[in-house]
Amino acid sequence: MSFDSFIGNSAAVQTVRDMLRADRMPGALLFTGPEGVGKKTLALMLAQAAVCERLKDDSCGECPRCRRAAEMIRGAEEDLARRRELKDSARRVEGLLYFDLQLIAPITRYILSEQIRVLRQVAYTRPFELPRRFFIIDQAQDIHWQAVDLLLKVMEEPPETTTFVLVCPNAGELRSTIRSRCQRVTFSPVDEDLILRLLKERTQVPEPKQRLVARLAHGSVGRALAFDLPGCLARREIWLEFFQSLSGGLGARARTPDWQRLFDSTRKLTGDRDSFDDILGTGSELLRDMLLVLESGETAPVSHVDLVPQLKAWAAAFGFAGIVALKEGLDEAHRLQIRNVNQQLGLDSLAIGMVSPARPGQPAPG
């Protein structure tokens, strides 16, 4: 795949293209930065470009070596997927064979010792088919502790025809002795406008929701492309009803709290235990947005960009103290959940707390 199709992180792309042009491929590289910005993708693109017969600082995708490189990547991914399915732990690393372009990634929670042992055996032999060998180690922080020394040994005596690319979100999780042997390429979160363009071009996300998805992806292309918009909207809908009923209960027009509707909302909140954390997370986002709107008005950098008028209305209804009280209630609900206390109970008491007449700065109900 050509570098032109890579989204964002132009400085990182420039760095690797400069390496290719200068014909100076380091023995070890470390690609580090947030999840979902394309670190592994760029490592694979680099390896393919390095062996392309036609282009110096890119891959044509058509020459025999480019095609072979693509096959090797596919083969490695299929092999990893197959091994992850195996129940018998001994068989997971049985018969490991490494291509000249090899992707190495965790098979279990870890990259296993045997995976690194095979890497060491192969690294010092001449490449079989390609002019240079690339070992791309994805999630390098998950190399089993028993195998880290082995990898370090290889990196201390770098094989001439092999380049290692370690891919790792947080370089601090790697041992410093490994880190110091790598040339580092740093990645940043991708600009929201670039993600927006990507959503327009490559997804079915409806136009009015594209900005929302781009914002909630927090600079991650991966997160934007895999974003569960229906799930997000369903979780949000519950909160919209909740805040709506609550603001009605507190507002001057409806002095009598709508208890029934309130509890219906919280009951819906806890209907699906598995997504309880996600639901609470969405609630936190909305409360944070209300605080932002209260502080900076309509231009506030809120997450839920398509809800600004509602956020403004609720923020006015709850006031600063009310939003903070809700936030504290949410945190309490989260603690209760961790301690496995009945979730419904936690949220019901939170709702009662919110509409009780004891809160300062609000007219007493009745």
One of 60, 86, 336, 352 touching Zn ion (CB under 5 A): 60
For position 70 contacting Zn ion by CB under 5 A, the verdict is: no
User: Considering the rule CB under 5 A, would residue 311 count as an interface residue with Zn ion?
Assistant: no
Alpha carbons 67 and 60: distance in angstroms, whole number: 9
Buried b (16+ CB within 10 A) or exposed e, 253-278: eeeebbeeebbebbebbbeeeebbee
Contact in structure between 98 and 123 (CB atoms under 8 Å): no
Using rule CB under 5 A, residue 130 touches Zn ion: no
Q: Which stretch binds Zn ion (CB under 5 A): 60-68, 75-83, 193-201, 206-214?
A: 60-68
* Alpha-carbon torsion, ordered 154, 159, 165, 167, to 10 deg: 0
- Contact range with Zn ion by CB under 5 A, out of 58-66, 93-101, 118-126, 233-241: 58-66
Stretch binding Zn ion (CB under 5 A), from 63-71, 225-233, 277-285, 341-349: 63-71
**234 is written with which tokens?**
């369903």
**1 lies in the site for Zn ion, by CB under 5 A:** no
CB of 70 vs Zn ion, minimal distance in Å: 10
Query: In this complex, which beta carbon is closest to Zn ion, that of residue 63 or of residue 313?
Result: 63
Closest distance of CB 287 from Zn ion, Å:
52
If the CB atoms of residues 50 and 167 are measured against Zn ion, the closer one turns out to be 50
Please state the φ and ψ torsions of residue 360, each to the nearest 5 degrees.
-75, 155
Give the 3-state secondary structure of residue 5.
helix
Do the beta carbons of residue 5 and residue 198 sit within 8 Å? no
Identify which of residues 63 and 292 has a Cβ nearer to Zn ion in the complex: 63
Nearer to Zn ion by Cβ, of 1 and 336: the residue is 1
In the numeric block, which tokens belong to residue 176?
């410093």
Which ranges in 86-131 belong to alpha helices (H)?
Answer: 113-123
Facing residues of 134 across strands? 101, 163
| Residue 66 vs 136, nearer CB to Zn ion | 66
User: Which of residues 17, 41, 63, 244 is near Zn ion by CB under 5 A?
Assistant: 63
Interface with Zn ion includes 150 (CB under 5 A)? no
Backbone angles phi, psi at 258, to 5 degrees: -85, 80
Contact 157, 122 (CB under 8 A): no
The only residue of 44, 49, 66, 221 in contact with Zn ion, by rule CB under 5 A:
66
Nearer to Zn ion, 63 or 308 (CB): 63
Applying the rule CB under 5 A, the residues between 23 and 52 that interact with Zn ion are 52
**CB of residue 41 vs Zn ion: minimum separation in angstroms?**
17
Instruction: Provide the minimum distance between the beta carbon of 80 and Zn ion in the complex, in angstroms, as a whole number.
Output: 25
Question: What does the alpha-carbon distance between residue 232 and residue 8 come to, in Å, rounded to a whole number?
Answer: 25
Residue 234's contacts (CB-CB under 8 Å, 6 or more residues apart) are none
Q: Which residues bind Zn ion (CB under 5 A)?
A: 52, 54, 60, 63, 66
